[in-house]
Amino acid sequence: MTVKKTMLKYINIVNPVDIKLKEEDIFLREKYKEIINYLKLVLSDSKDLEINSYVDLKGSLLINILPGTDILDYLNVISSNFFVKLIQLKESTIIENSSEFFENFFEILSDIDNLLNSKSTDESEEDSVDNKKKKILLIDQTHKLNEIYGDENLLNKFVYYYREKKNLKTLLKNNILLIWINHDYNEIVKNSGEIFEVFDFLIKVPIINKIERIQILKSFMEKNNKITFDIDLITDITENWEVKEIKKLIDIAILRHHLNSELNKKSNEITEIIKNIIELGEFIPSFHKNNYNNHKEKKNGLIKHIYHNNNSNNGSNHSKDVKNLIDNIKSERYSEFMLNQLYENAASENYNHLVIIIDKLFKNEHLEELDRKLLSKYPFILNDPPGKAQISLEKAKKKIDLIKKSFGK
């Protein structure tokens, strides 16, 4: 397979005229101003600006932001407003061909200009001139890509290759403005020594705060005056949610309201529906997924350590180590919502066996190897006294049964 064919497979080129998003569709948070000001500076390509006396701009920007934002929509709007082509990676194709993409990553990036110039055999002279203008290369390093590549993630690979000036020069001679979207700040910390060898600028966009959530909800009600909800309550129960997640939550609530009682032409109150969706876990924001994975990974490691010591050490020091590790687990608390979700998941998968394990914990009985292995999947159970854990598990089982019954299962 030639490099060009590989590129065509992994690259999506968005023409400004095809972008339908408008600026009013975006929640313009404070940090977005820095993004647009940087892009204006680079896209102007003026050699007479005072900043050029101090900084040799590369034309590469690193943005750290949480999932669930409208950052990609915002960059599409910028592309449309400045009439600049937007080049994006096709995540679905990368996932299907992850090894091939990883091996050809640098060739794909370095040959982008040739791809644009040869994309169509019928390209007009006007289009050829247009291809000489700056293009935005947008790389969104999602959590899904990180799951595929693990420690060998794309940012590590990119930074360590392009910190060599000749390699970076080869990339940027394609007349591109590179924007890299990162969703895991720990990766940036790990590469902190090399980040600014490759990028001009790091913009860290914080999560929206309470005032901003109120603004988002008020704006929605102003544009959709037939839909009503308790703004203060919804603001409080969506703490740590992001823009698009809040908007999607409202969309789902409106659909649920219509399915249950039909929308009317005067007023539709959906506060309770929104609450129920959150409580039942029928929409899960990204931070809950991340918290769940982080806690599960950490606590599974602790449980495995306990299990290993149980089989290799019977002395008094071992008992003390086990107690310390269990105390460590118990010291980390989940939100009530997350804990309910974890118990419901456990009840749906291994209710009967977990009841036996919790009973053994209550009676201080020996746990068999199979018991310990299963408990390592649900370490949050050790956060609670056995009696409370049993009540929580039974409550979760009743809720699961009720949901199944409502669907006729």
Q: Residue ranges per domain, the chain? A: 3-204, 210-279, 286-406
CB 17 within 8 A of CB 89: no
Q: How far apart are CA 64 and CA 81, in angstroms?
A: 23
pLDDT digits (tens, 9 = 90+) for 152-188: 788 988 998 998 888 888 888 878 899 999 999 989 9
User: Alpha-carbon Rg of the chain, whole angstroms?
Assistant: 26
Tokens of 301: 């490691």
H-run or E-run covering 199: none
Q: How far is CA 12 from the centre of its chain?
A: 21
CB 288 within 8 A of CB 280: no
Q: How far apart are CA 34 and CA 16, in angstroms?
A: 22
Query: How confident is the model at residue 121, as a pLDDT?
Result: 44
Q: How far apart are CA 109 and CA 250, in angstroms?
A: 39
Domain 3-204 matches domain 210-279 at the CATH topology level: no
Q: How far apart are CA 128 and CA 126, in angstroms?
A: 5
Q: What is the largest CA-CA distance in the chain?
A: 82
CB 287 within 8 A of CB 240: yes
Q: What is the DSSP string of 83-147?
A: T--EEEE-HHHHHHTHHHHHHTHHHHHHTHHHHHHHS-TT--HHHHHHTTS-EEEEEEE-HHHHH
Query: How confident is the model at residue 365, as a pLDDT?
Result: 84
Q: How far apart are CA 89 and CA 138, in angstroms?
A: 7
Tokens of 114: 């040739």
Q: How far apart are CA 254 and CA 246, in angstroms?
A: 13
The CATH architecture that domain 210-279 belongs to is Orthogonal Bundle (1.10)
Q: Model's pTM, two decimal places? A: 0.69
CB 76 within 8 A of CB 86: yes
Neighbours of 6 (CB within 10 A): 19
**For residue 311, which amino acid is it?**
N
Cβ burial, residue 271 (10 Å; 0-12/13-18/19+): middle
| HSE (side-chain half, CA atoms, 13 Å) at 272 | 4
Long-range contacts of 13-20 (CB under 8 A, 24+ apart): 13/85, 13/86, 13/87, 13/116, 13/119, 14/76, 14/79, 14/85, 14/86, 14/87, 14/88, 15/85, 16/79, 16/80, 16/82, 16/83, 16/84, 16/85, 16/86, 19/76, 19/77, 19/79, 19/80, 19/86
C-alpha angle 319/322/323, rounded to 5°? 85
Low-confidence ranges of the chain (pLDDT < 70): 1-7, 115-132, 263, 266, 288-335, 406-409
pLDDT digits (tens, 9 = 90+) for 237-267: 998 999 999 999 999 999 998 888 776 776 7
C-alpha angle 197/205/109, rounded to 5°? 45
Cβ burial, residue 221 (10 Å; 0-12/13-18/19+): middle
Question: What pairing do the DSSP bridges indicate for beta strands 11-14 and 86-89?
Answer: antiparallel
Q: Decide if domain 3-204 falls under CATH 3.40.1180.10.
A: no
Question: What pairing do the DSSP bridges indicate for beta strands 176-182 and 60-64?
Answer: parallel
